[in-house]
Amino acid sequence: MAKIERDSPIPIYHQLKTLIREQIESGLWKPGDRIPTEHELCRLYGISRSPVRQALKELEYEGVLVRCPGAGTFVNDSSPRQIAAGTSIQFVCSDIRWSHLLEHVRKAWNVAHPQQPVSFQVEVVSHTRLYDFLSTAVGGGTAPDAAMVDCVWVAGLARAGFLYPLESLNSHWNHSTFGKDLYPAFISANSYQDRLYGLPVKADLSLLWYRKDWLESEGLLPPGDWDELVAVASHFLQPQVQERYGYTYPLVFPGGVAGGEATVYMLMPFIWSAGGEIFENGEVVLNSPATCRALRFLRELVLTRQVSPPDVIRYREDTAFRLFASGKAVMALGGSYEADLIRAVSGWDDREFQERVGYILPPVAPGGRPAPTVGGTSYVILRQSPCPQRVMDVLRFATNPAQVGPYYRELLQILPNPSFNRLVSPNGAPLLSWVSEVIPLGRARPSIPEYVKVSRQLRAMFERAFSDSMPIETLVRRTAEFIAVISEMPCRI
């Protein structure tokens, strides 16, 4: 029996998933056979239960396996014929929940197109690894048909020649027709050299989560600016208040390289609301008093006022919302896309979530204007796909609000289409209604091919603000100089 290679860059769960498929295809496990239990697979391959569960879960989503509670997991006796009869679309994403969405899309598509059935073979890769994973896959000739990526990556992937321009797969699509039912920020975010390469599938907004029930009990309003944030956090630093609710820190957020893109997503609003920018008129303008003011305030929150822990520099992209959901923090800088995850971690139903959790735009600099990060996720089609036209047709189907709107509401996610707003009501989905109203206030991160490298410099800048005694002015100037080299733009001094 083949072994799991622990030193391989391929995730353990994916190796196991491949091994199970190979044993089914070789006839070792036939349709209707029960495969080994999770415990037996752990023992056979010497691995923990987590990768085993993920491998089995994805194979179940893909229709290869069927789980029967109390009886075991069996090879699906219909999946080989279904896969062979239709188009199998290889797909990569960073969130297991979208496997459920794609299964919904598969069923709906196959009902509407019985002569053109499809199936999805989904691989889940962490957000922090996804960009490099796609680059490596393309280089090795193993790229998927399609992927779900952060929209700020689209320009870089397009310039590298990895993606199909959407117009080449549908001559009726251009910026004008594409933008008729799309928030304007998402058109530029999915374009490179005036050609569309990304199909927006999800819109989100940075915000401040807070325990509404706790603030109301203490007679406090949610903080709208930095001074109010300090006041609320200071109140919750009092030992008697901390003992009353049992949290650890008033405020948490990803604050370093370990947080990946989430660090930039959550912390850039502090720079923007103070009047700072990264680029302007073809120049790098990060080195400004506004940027220094914002970084000085963030450093003060952690190192001076101690309303946030110093180990924010080690927080991963999901650490802050998990702490918040488990009652270990009063407030958390996060994104609207975390709502369903907070519910899952906390175990709260819709009613409890609405009673306990509040949300507000990220606190602004005193006298500043709201500047939340607006972001999103896009479908892209890789040039190595052997069936790009079919993939394009299916993904357009997968972004139709009429087809997927109810599922988005269930996940507390929002499509980047204003028409989706008609499916949302303040009474039934208050968070989605609020996000759709405030998205026009949002700021997009720079849609430039070099963004991935720029983002790494920004993450390092934030981390050093919390972990290094370097003067803020020096830190900002050096970061601006690095970004100027990366982007090949002059640096404004």
357 phi and psi angles, rounded to 5 deg: -110, 130
Strand, helix or coil for residue 291:
helix
Nearest CA among 299, 338, 300 for reference residue 321: 338
Bridging pattern class, strands 146-150 and 374-381: antiparallel
Last residue of a domain, one of 82, 103, 127: 82
71-76 long-range contacts, Cβ below 8 Å, gap at least 24? 71/34, 72/34, 72/35, 72/37, 73/34, 73/35, 73/37, 74/32, 74/33, 74/34, 74/35, 75/24, 75/29, 75/30, 75/31, 75/32, 75/33, 75/35, 76/31
Q: Say whether both 154 and 225 belong to one domain.
A: no
Q: Say whether both 158 and 264 belong to one domain.
A: no
For 408-445, what is each residue's pLDDT tens digit?
777 777 777 776 666 655 566 788 889 888 988 999 99
More confident residue, 250 or 106: 250
More confident residue, 56 or 85: 56
Q: Say whether both 45 and 121 belong to one domain.
A: no
Structure-token pair, residue 314: 């080690």
Read off the CATH number of the domain in which 95 is found. 3.40.190.10
Q: Say whether both 481 and 335 belong to one domain.
A: yes
Residue 338: the pLDDT is 93
Q: Say whether both 104 and 161 belong to one domain.
A: yes
What gap in Å lies between CA 471 and CA 452, rounded to an integer? Answer: 26
Q: Which of 12-21, 22-31, 104-113, 280-289 has the highest mean pLDDT?
A: 280-289
Read off the CATH number of the domain in which 58 is found. 1.10.10.10
Give domain status of residue 2, yes or no. no
Domain residues for the domain of 20 are: 9-82
Give domain status of residue 493, yes or no. no
- Using the predicted structure, report yes or no on whether residue 70 has a pLDDT greater than 90: no
Residue 231: the pLDDT is 98
Give domain status of residue 171, yes or no. yes
Q: What is the mean pLDDT of residues 33-43?
A: 89
- Using the predicted structure, report yes or no on whether residue 447 has a pLDDT greater than 70: yes
Q: What is the mean pLDDT of residues 275-292?
A: 96
Structure-token pair, residue 200: 């927006």
Q: Say whether both 451 and 414 belong to one domain.
A: no
Nearest CA among 20, 79, 23 for reference residue 52: 20
Phi-psi region of 27 (alpha: psi -120 to 50; beta: other; left: phi over 0): left
Nearest CA among 304, 307, 299, 313 for reference residue 476: 299
Between 127-139 and 261-273, two packed helices, what is the crossing angle to 10 degrees? Answer: 120
| CA separation, residue 186 to residues 196, 357, 418, 454 (Å) | 10, 28, 12, 20
Do residues 457 and 479 lie in contact, with contact meaning Cβ atoms separated by under 8 Å? yes
Strands (E), 22-152: 65-68, 72-75, 87-93, 118-124, 146-150
Residue 463: the pLDDT is 98
381 phi and psi angles, rounded to 5 deg: -115, 120
Give domain status of residue 480, yes or no. yes
369 phi and psi angles, rounded to 5 deg: -110, 150
What gap in Å lies between CA 77 and CA 79, rounded to an integer? Answer: 6
The count of domains in the chain is 3
Q: Read off the pLDDT band of 232 (50, 70, 90).
A: very high
Nearest CA among 115, 124, 98 for reference residue 411: 98
More confident residue, 340 or 236: 236
Q: Say whether both 365 and 471 belong to one domain.
A: yes
Do residues 208 and 333 lie in contact, with contact meaning Cβ atoms separated by under 8 Å? yes
Q: Say whether both 104 and 27 belong to one domain.
A: no
Q: Say whether both 90 and 75 belong to one domain.
A: no
Q: Say whether both 345 and 212 belong to one domain.
A: yes
Residue 79: the pLDDT is 44
Q: HSE of 1 in the Cβ direction (CA atoms, 13 Å)?
A: 15
Residue 81: the pLDDT is 38
Q: Read off the pLDDT band of 9 (50, 70, 90).
A: low
Q: What is the mean pLDDT of residues 279-299?
A: 97
Q: Read off the pLDDT band of 82 (50, 70, 90).
A: very low
Q: Say whether both 401 and 434 belong to one domain.
A: yes
Locate tokens 């896969």: which residue?
83
Last residue of a domain, one of 49, 65, 82: 82
For 345-400, what is each residue's pLDDT tens digit?
999 998 999 999 999 999 999 999 999 999 889 999 999 898 898 999 999 888 88
Nearest CA among 341, 319, 344, 340 for reference residue 329: 319
Residue 83: the pLDDT is 39
Do residues 129 and 319 lie in contact, with contact meaning Cβ atoms separated by under 8 Å? no
Give domain status of residue 159, yes or no. yes
Do residues 387 and 189 lie in contact, with contact meaning Cβ atoms separated by under 8 Å? no
Average model confidence (pLDDT) across the chain: 88
Of all residues in the chain, what percent carry a pLDDT higher than 70? 92
Give domain status of residue 430, yes or no. yes
Bridging pattern class, strands 199-211 and 195-196: unpaired
Do residues 233 and 305 lie in contact, with contact meaning Cβ atoms separated by under 8 Å? yes
Q: Say whether both 152 and 212 belong to one domain.
A: no
Do residues 241 and 232 lie in contact, with contact meaning Cβ atoms separated by under 8 Å? no
Last residue of a domain, one of 82, 104, 120: 82
What gap in Å lies between CA 282 and CA 317, rounded to an integer? Answer: 31
- Using the predicted structure, report yes or no on whether residue 65 has a pLDDT greater than 70: yes
Give domain status of residue 3, yes or no. no
- Using the predicted structure, report yes or no on whether residue 281 has a pLDDT greater than 60: yes
What gap in Å lies between CA 215 and CA 39, rounded to an integer? Answer: 45
For 169-183, what is each residue's pLDDT tens digit?
875 655 556 666 677
- Using the predicted structure, report yes or no on whether residue 312 has a pLDDT greater than 90: yes
Note the Cα 64 to chain centre separation in Å. Answer: 27
